[in-house]
Amino acid sequence: MRKFLIPLLLVVLASCSQVPSVKDRDVPSAFFVFFDENSAKPVEGSTKILDEVSAFLKYYDDLSVSIVGQRAISETSDKTDGPLDAQRAAVVAAQLQRRGIEIGRMVVDSKDVSESMAVAAGGDNAVDQRVDIMIRIVPAL
């Protein structure tokens, strides 16, 4: 029996170590998840960002998030599954739910191209292929 428990314990401990530790860290005001062009698929590396957001939300139960989908002006806005910016926001919300965050702690919205950052980024439209995750403090009742 012991021969089976030790490997199982090692697997459990290894999976726990992948959750970022947020204890004693300042809570960022925002996170950004970027997407492939004309896609609701997050770019590689987004998993780490979503893991960190969920770690903060699990550690600090008085936090909630606003999830706001964006679209670059160069991207197609009409998709069969709905507007691209709304799809992106829904993907991020679903990913946080899979990580154990209750939907009641999320406000999900989309802004189309109205909050473009491309001009500030030297005309790079890729910066608008994103979802903004803003951290908010839940007001006490």
The dihedral over CA atoms of 91, 37, 43, 62, expressed in degrees to the nearest 10, equals -40
Asked whether residue 108 is assigned to any structural domain, the reply reads yes
Asked whether residue 26 is assigned to any structural domain, the reply reads yes
Rounded CA separation 43/54 (Å) = 18
- Indicate the number of domains in the chain: 1
For residue 141, what pLDDT is reported? 56
Mean pLDDT by 10 residues, the chain (141 residues): 39 46 76 94 94 94 93 77 89 97 94 73 77 84 56
Asked whether residue 90 is assigned to any structural domain, the reply reads yes
Asked whether residue 9 is assigned to any structural domain, the reply reads no
For residue 52, what pLDDT is reported? 94
The range of the structural domain enclosing residue 111 comes to 18-137
Asked whether residue 6 is assigned to any structural domain, the reply reads no
Asked whether residue 5 is assigned to any structural domain, the reply reads no
Any bridge partners for residue 137, and if so which? 63
Q: What is the CATH number of the domain that holds 25?
A: 3.30.1330.60
Asked whether residue 40 is assigned to any structural domain, the reply reads yes
Asked whether residue 77 is assigned to any structural domain, the reply reads yes
For residue 140, what pLDDT is reported? 58
Would you state the structure tokens that stand for residue 13, as one six-digit string?
């401990």
